[in-house]
């Protein structure tokens, strides 16, 4: 038995497709939006469409940005000879919150996962190797401590070691199976400071 009209059901279904939003949360969000002034809802919709239309990858590190180069890559205050490799933009943001890392980043947009059919060619590894032709002194691998993250770290290490560039991995302190975006700044800082060479 359907309780709501087709329009309300469609709205709930679309909201439920968002990650982390179940049926009950989708229903709450739908009714929240329906009770908002039309201008507020229109502004939200326009902001989402505008973001989807104008946000792209940074040409250097591949994080999400609305410019050709993100603020980190375009900053002269950053150490461009040290690159921290992360799985996604949320991980980059997590390290930026520590306020202690002054290098630049490279966002892979995933991790190697043979079980899911994700190979080295499906993430931004080729672009990383291209960047290493510049004057780079260290690559810090800060992938998650999951099986996929560890596999990716070892693969990157084997690719970079022959170049003579120092390769290090973030230290423990980041729990195995944990996602960087969910970890507090102190733990992330300890992991960064205690990194070891691979």
Q: What's the pLDDT at 173?
A: 66
Q: Are 159 and 183 in contact (CB under 8 A)?
A: no
Domains of the chain are 6-54 (1.10.8.420), 64-197 (3.40.1360.10)
Q: Are 57 and 49 in contact (CB under 8 A)?
A: no
**Beta-bridge partner residues of 164:** none
Q: Which residues contact 80 (CB under 8 A, 6 or more apart)?
A: 103, 104, 134
Q: Tokens for 156, please give them.
A: 């990157």
- pLDDT per residue over 38-56, tens digit each? 999 999 999 999 999 999 9
Radius of gyration, CA atoms only, the chain: 20
Dihedral Cα 148, 149, 153, 156, nearest 10 deg: 60
- pLDDT per residue over 57-99, tens digit each? 999 999 999 999 999 999 999 999 999 999 999 999 999 998 8
- DSSP 8-state symbol, 118: B
């Amino acid at each position: 038995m359907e309780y709501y009209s087709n329009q309300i059901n469609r709205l709930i279904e679309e909201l439920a497709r968002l990650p982390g939003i179940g049926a009950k949360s989708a229903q709450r969000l739908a009714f929240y939006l329906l009770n908002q002034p039309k201008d507020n809802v229109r502004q939200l919709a326009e902001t989402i469409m505008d973001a989807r239309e104008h946000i792209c990858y940074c040409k250097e590190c591949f994080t999400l940005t609305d410019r050709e180069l993100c603020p980190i890559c375009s900053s002269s205050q950053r150490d461009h000879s040290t690159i921290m490799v992360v799985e996604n933009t949320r991980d980059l943001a997590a390290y930026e919150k520590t306020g202690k890392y002054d290098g630049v980043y490279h966002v892979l947009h995933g991790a190697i996962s043979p079980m899911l059919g994700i190979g080295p060619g499906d993430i931004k590894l080729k672009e990383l190797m291209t960047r290493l032709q510049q004057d780079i002194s260290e690559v810090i691998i800060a992938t998650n401590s999951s099986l996929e993250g560890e596999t990716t770290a070892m693969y990157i290490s084997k690719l970079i070691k022959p170049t003579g560039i120092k390769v290090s991995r973030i230290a423990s302190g980041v729990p195995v199976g944990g996602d960087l975006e969910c970890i507090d700044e102190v733990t992330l800082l300890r992991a960064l400071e205690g990194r070891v060479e691979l």
